[in-house]
Amino acid sequence: MERLAAEQRIEELRKQINHHNRLYHIEDRPEITDQEYDVLMRELQTLEDLFPDMVTPDSPTQRVGGAPLAAFEKVVHKTPMLSLANAFGEADLRDFDRRVRQTLGRDEVSYVCELKIDGLAVSLQYENGYFIQGSTRGDGQTGEDITQNLRTIRSIPLRLTRPVTLEVRGEAFMPKRAFEKLNKEREAQGEALFANPRNSAAGSLRQLDPKIAASRSLDTFIYGLGELEGETVESHSQALELMGSLGFKINPEWRVFTSIDDVITFVEGWVEKRPHLPYEIDGMVIKVDRYADQRALGFTAKSPRWAIAYKFPAEEAVTRLVGIEISVGRTGVVTPTALLDPVGIAGTTVKRASLHNEDIIREKGLLIGDSVIVRKAGDIIPEIVAVLPDRRKGDEQPFHMPTHCPECGSELVRLDEEVALRCINPDCPALIREGMIHFVSRLAMNIEGLGEKVVSQLFAKGLIGSVADIYYLKERREELIGLERMGEKSVDNLLDAIEASKQNSLERLLFGLGIRLVGSKAARVLAEHFGSLDRLMQATQEELMAIDEIGPKMAESIVAYFSLPQVGDLIKRLEAAGVNTLYKGVRLAEAADLPFSGKTVVLTGTLATLTRQEAEEKITSMGGKVTGSVSAKTDLVIAGEKAGSKLEKAQKLGVAVLDEAGFLELLKQMTAH
């Protein structure tokens, strides 16, 4: 391509990609599929590789992160980033309102109410519309330069819609789903888990290697205007609208009220709604709207007099640590779990709390018998926040992690400087039993009637010793009938379910095998790419790494797994039993012509003729993607009986809705074609 044509095409691609970035990450209404977006990005990257002098700092390709830093530079904030005073109840809010009205000398004041995002406060500076620097809040006067890390967040525009020079403040955060995914990955690799999304966001942005931040799916909401050159705004609400028009992501849940009663009603309403948000909030922020009023109210030494943060009631309780239980997972990781005196938190009874690993027990200074503060925030597993040492009576006992596996007696080890202790004995009963429980689970082979208790019973009785043995149980039918709660009918139903599972597509088998680092999504990617288990088993590490979403560690793990002689024997036994080893889904190239291709679908309510898993499989096999929550990105909601809030949200957003009969008719039409 000639230089002039390349320059024009590069500019055109950047405009298209920035447009779609805004639609996807800010306005939540994508117009193209992920595959189509990737095609645009690949073309831009190819052209920039051919003409490297055309690469600009605001190019979408520059979000991947640069070279690792030696240290963060200090940044002095031109306008201090002060913290807010706190309110803990209605009385505090009314007192704030009284002080504001008294100082301003009038009864009516406009307030802006916003969600208080639980993340890391950041400052972003733009010059003539280009992002030039980003920093942390730090101590309010001086922060750290984290520009390279912030550039990786796709909701932060690298170039504004107009050439404006300004500074804005906002919150960088990690969505709940990204947080859960990150902790699952860290747990699988034996790394220390993050305690909550806020810590994970802060830890990600303070990485010296920007590529780590780029991998963490961080997001932002911009909530404040620090400085603005050449233009004037008269209120905070006008500033929010201006910043939204410039390309910043603004949280949509802000409102303006002229009555403190309306403010209190709005704030209290979010106490109930907060667990349903896809991100964490820890309160609400109430600000006097007009800038002239803000200037008249002024500041204290620590905080502005024109704003206050309402803190939600803590989802915490004090209880007693009565013991610590040790369990061994299918990967050999030994995990301690706190056993607690039952205590009510956020409408549920909590009896157990995750401790993750020995380091956390040591860091918190836990003793058996301690009084502890337990927290359950949103959908996060209950955790011990802190110990109350002043309540100790003297009979508390220290806890020591075992040096040997509680199941097989083998010495526990730490691999590659992992935090977690592992049992590496391949014959450990716990590894074998947990591996079989995983194999039959819903996302794996999905064998109905073969749950955790049944697997444990069959294993204890010596009826199964590997996942392959499951497919030879029909030869031991009479022995099965003699087991607890296993009559003739239930045994026959179980054997039928086992037989039916032989026809599963390859990705289920791959996930069920429990290959380290290979989750359900990676299993589908591998199955679709290779088409057969035999082809995958022959793949080299280089071939695997050439696939999107398969990194070097996963590739190494896959090659190592299939090189084990016992794995080869296991696969032969599964094949001999008639277990399918081919991919039965729709290949990407074939999916383009299907009605579900590129569509995002949400299932809600109860379906009478299909299980949730069966419905998901039918949708994904025909090119669709099933997600758990409704948003503007959702293309279709399939609503069964007793559909609740998801159906209501779909109707509010104008998302297409099908009942079960309509869904079945659509499937019938697709099958007919």
Residue 417 inside a domain? The answer is no
- List the CATH number of the domain containing 52: 1.10.287.610
The pLDDT tens digits of the residues spanning 482-494 come to 888 888 999 999 9
What is the secondary structure of 545-600 as a DSSP string? Answer: HTSTT--HHHHHHHHHHHTSHHHHHHHHHHHHTT---B--S--HHHHTTSTTTT-E
> 101: helix, coil or strand?
helix
636 has a pLDDT exceeding 80: yes
pTM of the complete model: 0.54
218 has a pLDDT exceeding 90: yes
Residue 427 tokens read as 């014959």
Residue 458 inside a domain? The answer is yes
438 and 354 assigned to the same domain: no
Residue 627 inside a domain? The answer is yes
Q: How many structural domains compose the chain? A: 6
Name residue, tokens 């009969």: 661
Supply the Cα-derived Rg of the chain in whole angstroms: 28
Q: How far is the C-alpha of 146 from the C-alpha of 628, rounded, in Å?
A: 33
The pLDDT tens digits of the residues spanning 585-600 come to 755 445 455 667 778 8
Q: What percent of the chain has pLDDT over 70?
A: 93
State which amino acid sits at residue 345: I
Q: Closest Cα to residue 104, out of 358, 330, 291?
A: 291
Q: What is the mean pLDDT of residues 147-171?
A: 94
State which amino acid sits at residue 486: M
Pairing of β 636-639 and β 600-604: parallel
The pLDDT tens digits of the residues spanning 240-259 come to 999 999 999 999 999 999 99
Amino acid 379: pLDDT: 45
472 and 612 assigned to the same domain: no
What HEC string does 162-221 produce? CCCCEEEEEEEECCHHHHHHHHHHHHHCCCCCCCCHHHHHHHHHCCCCHHHHHCCCCEEE
Amino acid 672: pLDDT: 53
Q: How far is the C-alpha of 296 from the C-alpha of 286, rounded, in Å?
A: 17
Q: How far is CA 550 from the centre of its chain?
A: 19
Residue 76 inside a domain? The answer is no
Q: How far is the C-alpha of 634 from the C-alpha of 628, rounded, in Å?
A: 10
What is the secondary structure of 224-272 as a DSSP string? Answer: EEEEESS----BHHHHHHHHHHTT----S--EEES-HHHHHHHHHHHHH
Residue 607 tokens read as 């379906």
> Active-site residue numbers?
116
Residue 605 tokens read as 């309510």
67 has a pLDDT exceeding 70: no
Residue 633 inside a domain? The answer is yes
65 has a pLDDT exceeding 80: no
- List the CATH number of the domain containing 657: 3.40.50.10190
Contact 446, 613 (CB under 8 A): yes
Q: How far is the C-alpha of 179 from the C-alpha of 185, rounded, in Å?
A: 10
Q: What is the mean pLDDT of residues 638-656?
A: 83
438 and 483 assigned to the same domain: yes
* Helix pair angle (197-205, 176-188), 10° resolution: 80
- Residue 130 sits in which domain range? 85-311
The pLDDT tens digits of the residues spanning 333-384 come to 999 999 999 988 765 788 999 888 888 899 899 999 999 999 875 445 688 9
93 and 198 assigned to the same domain: yes
286 and 145 assigned to the same domain: yes
Q: How far is the C-alpha of 350 from the C-alpha of 345, rounded, in Å?
A: 7
Question: Which of 201-205, 424-428, 494-498 has the largest mean confidence?
Answer: 494-498
Q: 469, 501, 533: which is the final residue of a domain?
A: 501
Amino acid 589: pLDDT: 46
